[in-house]
Amino acid sequence: MLLALDIGNSDVVLGIWDKQKWIHVWRIPTRPNQPELFYGIKIKDYFFEANLSLNHVDKIVLSSVVPDLTDKLRNVIAVLFGKESIVLGPDVYQKLAIKVLNPYEIGSDLVSNAIAAYDYYQNTCIVVDFGTALTFTTLSSKGEILGVSIVPGLKTAIKSLTQNTAKLFDVPLAMPASALGTSTITAIQSGILFGYSGLVQSMVGEIRSEIKENCPAIATGGLSSIITPLNDFFDQVEPNLTLNGLRIVGETVSER
């Protein structure tokens, strides 16, 4: 089995691949100040509850955009599984089928998304990742990452709005029935969710116009299904795209 870890700003996502499918996907809140023991116990508990043996994992691949957690999780993995993890970064990029723009600047999660998207389409495509940040990653038909666009994610936008406005408060991320908010809650939901629907469509349209190609767009991230008006806009919605990229990295690195 392969264990993939995607260390993001909001969650650490863990996936178990059994050579055919993801049999388990777990989330641990990202807490850089927690000791290694916190993460070690969480991972052991997940394996115990799933009736899985730690010894059955023969490959571990890790992506991290939280530097303070990278070494902690690497140490936890080494202790629990007795194996070193493959850390997706510039040294690994050289062994992959895609070409990475600014390898020391781009987030490894975006690279993982690009790997999985290009493996699927083998052509020009746009990856829209609904995470802590909302990102747009564009690949060429040759597998080159042409560029990335970043805006605050849905939760980040709501948090920024409510924390900096005295009379507003946190609201659930749920699509309202109307763009016309009739309460504080539905007003915020309407502005953020319908607004981001337009933002996403506009950005994808602008990218397609600039590269002069009506290429497919694929959505991923934990919040990718929240904005229901976009359900028919994307060519594909794949919540586990980042994990799929890490799986491909594990298979590629093991073969070369």
How far is Cα 209 from Cα 47, in angstroms, rounded to an integer?
47
Which class would CATH give 2-87? alpha beta
**pLDDT per position as a tens digit, 16-59:** 999 899 999 999 999 999 999 999 999 999 999 999 999 999 99
Check residue 85 and give its pLDDT. 94
Check residue 256 and give its pLDDT. 43
Task: Pick the catalytic residue from 6, 91, 109, 129.
Answer: 109
Domains 2-87 and 99-245 share a fold: yes
pLDDT surpassing 70 at residue 100? yes
**pLDDT per position as a tens digit, 156-213:** 888 887 776 655 667 888 889 999 999 888 988 899 999 999 999 999 999 999 999 9
HEC profile of 36-80: HHHHHHHHHHHHHHCCCCHHHCCEEEEEECCHHHHHHHHHHHHHH
Assign a CATH topology to domain 99-245: Nucleotidyltransferase; domain 5 (3.30.420)
109 part of the active site = yes
pTM of the shown model: 0.91
Domain boundaries, the chain: 2-87, 99-245
Check residue 228 and give its pLDDT. 86
Residues, the chain, total? 256
pLDDT surpassing 90 at residue 94? no
**pLDDT per position as a tens digit, 216-252:** 999 998 777 888 889 899 999 999 999 999 999 999 8
